[in-house]
Structure 1
Amino acid sequence: MCEEEDGLPYRASIPMLHATTPEADVLLVYEMNGKVLSRDHGYPIRAVVPGVIGARSVKWIETIIISKYECQFFFQQKDYKMFPPWIRWNNVNWSSQRALMDFPIQSVICEPGDGVVVKSGDVVDFYGYAVAGGGRGIERVDISINNGKKWLEAVRLPKLPIEAQRGYKDDLHRPHWAWTLWQLRFVKLETPCIVVVKAVDSSGNVQPASVDEIWNLRGVLNNCWHKIRINAPCPPPEVKEPGGADTAKIAAEDAKQRCKSPNDHADDEPTREFLDRF
Structure 2
Amino acid sequence: MMRERLQLVEIPRVKNISKADFLERYVKPQKPVVIEHLIEDWPAYKKWSLEYIEEVAGEKIVPLYDDRPISSEYKFNEPHLKMKMSEYIALLKSKPTNYRIFLYHLMKEVPALQKDFKFPDMGLRFLKQLPMLFFGGENSKVFMHYDIDFANILHFQFHGKKQCILYPPSQSKFLYKVPHALISREDIDFSNPDFEKFPALKEAEGYVTQLNHGETLYMPEGYWHQMTYLTPGFSMSLRATSRNITNFSKAVYNLAFMRYFDNYMRKLRGQKWIDYKNEQAIVNTHKKNNIKT
User: Shorter-normalised TM-score: what interval?
Assistant: under 0.3
Give the TM-score, by structure 1 length. 0.23
The structure with more radius of gyration: 1
Give the structure with the larger helix fraction.
Answer: 2
For CA contacts below 8 A with separation 6 or more, give which structure has more relative contact order: 2
